[in-house]
Chains A and B, each alone.
Chain A
Amino acid sequence: MNVQALTQRAGEWLRGSGPHSEIVLSSRIRLARNLAGFPFVNRASRRQRLEVLERCRGEIMSGRLAGDIIWVDLNEADDLDRQLLVERHLISRQHAQGGGDQPRAVAIAADETFAIMANEEDHLRMQVLRSGLQLEEAWDQISHIDDVLEERLDFAYSSRWGYLSACPTNVGTGVRVSVMMHLPALKLTGEIEKVRRAARDTHLAVRGFFGEGSDALGDLFQISNQTTLGKSEEEILHGFLENIVPQIIAYEQQARQALIKHRAALLDDRIWRAWAILTHARVIGTDEVMSLLSHLRLGVNLGRLDCVDIRTLNELFLLSQSAHLQRITACEMDQAARREARARMIRHKLGAK
């Protein structure tokens, strides 16, 4: 099994199932861990980085975590594969670029429910991804992975600061919880500021589809915690499950109902125009696709469009990205050629000519 095999499927988090999947696309939990007795990655020699990598690989691939895990040496992977992994949210952009030829890797469960980056900013950055709102399930899984690795790896830890990380913003639990939410109605009614305010009040960050510094393409927003010290993992999860996520879901649902009640024509116009463009365009860029797919997704979720299903739309969010497009069409293309191929691929998937 290799990286390219991943493009055959949409991946766990785009399955379009799970609780509240009409608004919550995915739940993700990431843990930062470092091996005791080694300098952090930024201060480690090449030798030490290789040693860290080998140890981590030995434990991760020992078969005690899962039977089917793909180990990708990012130093040797080609650019397109690295970009593909970024598009699937399996590695960070930083890890894809990785400062030249520094030894670094990622281990990916074949079903893509978890991925472990080795030698990113920390020795280990492990994440579990689930579709819909499944934070407790995600926590159980990541904590189990952590326990299994900890049986044979010593993690840097101090009783005062908890798990020690290279950047002190991650110290303590080292946990980053991110919930990816689709909020097209709040965007249409101009109320997205409500979400930012609610997040700010509870010390959470709101980011775009590709995390830090990215725009909210396709009306997809990631809500994540910033505080990792002084709160237990349980408290952090409860903050999401009992406060912020239900609150934002309620805002989005109110906005959806308000649109149906007061601006139904406008709403349907947006949805059907998106359908018209995607089934007829000959040349199209990623940003436009994301924004139109967002309206289609809203249309399907509100029962106002029935010519496509959510799964296909979720899949298109991914397949429209540059690296995916080039892998599924099996040719490397310049931007102009990609825009054409993208339009063709989408028409085909939506059953148009």
Chain B
Amino acid sequence: MKHKCDQCDQPATYHSVKIVKGQKIEEHLCEAHAAQAGLVPKEAQAPINELLTKFVQLHSGMAGAQQELACDNCGMTFNEFREHSLLGCPECYRAFEAQLAPLLERAHEGATHHIGKVPRRAGADEHRQQRLLRMRKQLADAVAAEDYEQAARLRDEIRACEGSPT
């Protein structure tokens, strides 16, 4: 329900609940005390498109360098991402990591890392995910080039890689 600030009698506008070693730790602060603790970037969350536009304006001096930036795996360029707000593949997160980090931080209340559920299997091995992605791209290329021998080989490799324990 409604909380008062932990440090004064003002109504709390900053709320956080953390689970640390199974212990629930709650924190409720008024605007002033939260700001004092450096906790609240108080501006309302802007949609990602808006953030992107701002970001681009901010870095307009680097436009030349930005344009070249592309994901090795799917070919998505940073400009394309900026236009549609959609990334092309999981590898894009690595390719654009430096550019995405400040954007995500602003879009997600200052967060820089994932906290929460971890998949039991996939979480164990990111390298395997990368390898699969690369092989699937090669497979698509082989099929397009009608190199069926190569395609068959890749299919076997993909199957083997998927079946391997993590």
Contact = CB atoms under 8 A, between A and B. Distances in A.
Interface residues on B, range: 35 or more
A175 B135 CA distance: 30
A231 B46 CA distance: 18
B19 A168 contact: no
A38 B129 CA distance: 9
Nearest to B48: A169
B87 interface: yes
B87 A166 contact: yes
A174 to B, nearest CB: 9
Contact of B45 (A42, A159, A203, A235): A203
Given A36-B129, A37-B129, A47-B143, A173 B87 contact: no
Contacts of A242: 1, 15, 17
B89 A39 contact: yes
B123 A231 contact: no
Interface in B107-137: 107-123, 126, 128-129, 132-133, 135-137
A43 B90 CA distance: 11
Nearest to A160: B113
A250 B112 CA distance: 34
Interface size classification for chain A: 35 or more
A251 B15 CA distance: 19
Contacts of A234: 17, 19, 116
The 7 A-B pairs at the shortest CB distance, nearest first, are namely A230-B111, A162-B114, A37-B132, A43-B88, A229-B108, A232-B116, A156-B90
Given A37-B132, A47-B140, A171-B93, 15 more contacts: A36-B90, A37-B133, A39-B88, A39-B133, A39-B136, A43-B74, A43-B88, A150-B119, A168-B85, A168-B104, A173-B117, A175-B116, A230-B110, A235-B18, A238-B17
Interface of B: 1-3, 13, 15-19, 44-45, 47-48, 73-74, 76, 84-90, 93-94, 100, 103-104, 107-123, 126, 128-129, 132-133, 135-137, 140, 143, 158, 162
